[in-house]
Structure 1
Amino acid sequence: MGEIRYLQVGLEQVSWLVDSRVEFLTEYWGAKGQEETQQLRDELENFFRRELPAGTFVAWLAMDGDQWVGVGGMKLVDKPGGFRAMNGRSGYIMNMYTRSAWRKRGIATAILELLLEHGRQAGVSYFELHATTDGAPVYERAGFVRHGEPTYRKIVQ
């Protein structure tokens, strides 16, 4: 393992971004069938190729030599403002993943710092995320707190 460098993702790295998301989801939820996985890959590629140039999604890769070993992304979301966030702009942090051999080396923390700084420069009023049990301490050390506002979800089928 060499020295880790951090690369902001451009269109040239979309395939790595797709690979990292599929790898994370497979580790977290378990492997899916080939057809379902390919459908997800196609959807992810379309999403990243649309959102990266628009500046509404940003991501960084942690690189060890010529291979990616960690990743993190943020979707910038604009909604009507409120009293606690007048401009309504939020940063939804997602796809935070470090390959197992590189964990516990500060990679997720470094990527999170890059995402937070980008969000501040983009005028984000607040950041949100969902955390795995293993990932929660990274976010808590960065000042994230679990909030008590109810969240509901309905999956369209």
Structure 2
Amino acid sequence: MNYRRAGKEDVMQLTALRMAYLEEDYGVLDTKIYEAIAEQLPFYFLRHLEQDCFAYVAETENALLVASALLVVSEKPANPSFITGRTGTVFNVYTQPPYRRQGNAEVLMRMLLYDAQAMDLDYVELKATSDGIPLYEKLGFGPVTAGYQDMRYQF
């Protein structure tokens, strides 16, 4: 297995991995929603890869991408919780079923965290599934304790 950071030449395979992840996470998506997301993703990756989105992939000897982890870097006004103003969010830690339980996600996450530290990010956060919690705890992630309630305005 070859582990590396993805480039623009990987956009279509990254899109396929993201769609597989979403269908596993959300179940079968409505056709219109599926098509809208599948159409948006390549454009997103082309605009953001190696700018503020970094994709870590596991690649077979046949150049097939079978696992991924995305790091999205955000910059915002600094505060005591993020002095540099730069933080990272992990998305789409996904491995295709035949390649699971072989350490691929751990390797990708270690690469991601190494790069995040080199980028001088204040922290990296993620939302963990129950399957992912043991790996993330092993890597040093812990629960977030905050005096704020997450809220959202949906359009």
TM range (shorter): over 0.9
Instruction: State the 1:35 CA deviation.
Output: 2.5
Structure 1 counterpart of 2:91, from 91, 94, 109: 94
Instruction: State the 1:125 CA deviation.
Output: 0.9
Q: Which runs of 5+ in 2 are unaligned?
A: none
Alpha-carbon spacing, 1:6–1:144, altered in 2? closer, same or farther (3 Å):
same
Instruction: State the 1:83 CA deviation.
Output: 2.0
Instruction: State the 1:100 CA deviation.
Output: 1.3
**Which secondary structure does the structure 2 equivalent of 1:152 belong to?**
coil
Q: Which residue of 1 aligns with 2:154?
A: 156
Instruction: State the 1:112 CA deviation.
Output: 0.3
Q: Which runs of 5+ in 1 are unaligned?
A: none
Instruction: Tell me the distance in 2 between the aligned counterparts of 1:153 and 1:84.
Output: 19
Q: Which residue of 1 aligns with 2:101?
A: 104
In the alignment, does 2:1 pair up with 1:12? no
Alpha-carbon spacing, 1:155–1:45, altered in 2? closer, same or farther (3 Å):
farther
Q: Which residue of 1 aligns with 2:110?
A: 113
Deviations, residues 31-68 of structure 1 (Å, cap 9, x unaligned): 11333211101111121111115x10000110122211
Worse-matched range after superposition: 128-137 or 39-48: 39-48
Letter in 2 for 1:57: C
Instruction: Tell me the distance in 2 between the aligned counterparts of 1:85 and 1:60.
Output: 24
Aligned residues: 153
Root mean square deviation, CA, Å:
1.3
Structure 1 counterpart of 2:127, from 127, 130, 138: 130
Moved over 2 A (4+): none
Instruction: Tell me the distance in 2 between the aligned counterparts of 1:70 and 1:108.
Output: 7
Q: Which residue of 1 aligns with 2:74?
A: 77
Q: State the TM-score, normalized to the length of structure 2.
A: 0.92
Instruction: State the 1:151 CA deviation.
Output: 4.0
Q: Which residue of 2 aligns with 1:60?
A: 56
Percent of pairs with identical residues:
27
